[in-house]
Structure 1
Amino acid sequence: MTGDKKRKRTGVMEAKEADKVKEVEKPKAESKEEKQEPRPKRTKQKVERYFDKKEKTQETGTSIQSTGPSNSKSEKKKTNKRRARPIYVLKISSIPYGFFEKQLLKYFLQFGQVIRVRVSRNKKTGNHRGWAYVGFDDKTVAEIAAETMDGYLMFNKRLSCRVMDAPPLCMKSGPRLVSVPSKRGTTIKDAKKRLKQQTEQNETKAQKRRSKSLEAAQLRLKAAGIEYDLPVPSSSKEKPQK
């Protein structure tokens, strides 16, 4: 009897476990079937929305603007023009030595936002020429800076400032500050040009320049009442005798 009872219990337990496994497997199969069902395409929804908007605009009388990306060059130029910031340039002359790009930027930031600073420099040596440009984002700020700094005495030099009508090319685009040109590269290039063998055309041009300068000096001496004949320049190359 005990053996039969045990067998019945084990059979009941196995049946219950089988029912549980079936119940767990059913939702998994249903989820797979749901995944396999085709989803509605988004393009149809977009088309329906577009026609709905079109009908509404026809009723109201307004126009639809395309939301897609514009590839035309004219539209790109318009966006670039919108992004370009207006700049009002202040020209400063008779600047003392040592008052360069960084110093100008720090000094003129007290008036307002400075967009660009350019100091006029010699391309060969990199030395400054005594004048610079400072660009502001507001016209009133540039005018106030010009009024306050015009005639300002700085290191035994009197500054002269004025607002330009149109910005120069160097101030229309570029970074806020520009690095100073190096002296080494330019000096080597100049030395190579000087050491280059001169052609006949260059030599004739140089001789004409020398003769013109000597004639001008001769006229100055005559005007001063000095009688003196300056030597005529001769070519370095000797012409072959015929």
Structure 2
Amino acid sequence: MTTILIVEDENPAAKRLIKLVKEILPDCEIFGNLDTITSAVEWLSNNAQPDLIFLDIQLADGISFEIFEHVKVESPIIFCTAFDQYAIKAFKLNSIDYLLKPVDPEELKNAIKKFQSGRKAPEITLDQIKVLLQPIQKVYKNRFLVKVGERIQTIAIEEIGYFYSEDKVTFLMTRHGKKFIIDYTLDEVEAMLNPDGFFRLNRKYISSVDAIREVFTYSNSRLKIQLDQCLDNDILISREKMQPFKTWLGQ
């Protein structure tokens, strides 16, 4: 039986990947989903190496390459992430399996066939992998378009306090309390924002650092957040996201 470990911080992506893998390898045993560097290191330190690892590059608490700095990973790895085609080309030139999200079923099937054939990637160091990614400078949004009546206007990123989702609609709230509907899901918005300035608090909220008014400790090792220009008093940060949030807030 093939054992597979999945490390992915987006639950919808992880569920879809598990479903696709099960369709290709119905008898496999899947562990995870793990969504942080910390949980992956802990699992790999306390369990036998799986036959295969699906590894997202950007995890809830940092870049997944840090895992290799803490534990020796001998399993073949298929990287799954949202970097562009140039990154994919760079990885494939070095015989490292790499899938762009959302994962294409046929590409996944080919990657698994490569794994089953016993093909091994050449030895490559963590530093070499980082070098491959250096030319890729992700461009983050500087402004968002919003519609006001018949007019379309722009909201500069510096003017934005937070984003939130309600009844499947995504809203942008400015630092001055003006609310606008935008044509993106919250997941799409998250990918457009510089993580130095914005943090995904939970499934409903993404906040700028300047919009964080107060932070309170809460039950079960969670945090409660009060945002400027926000009437919601029950914005909670999970135990898993608590340390990454503190790191982000204090950087």
Provide the TM-score with structure 2 as the length reference: 0.23
Higher strand share: 2
The structure whose Rg is larger is 1
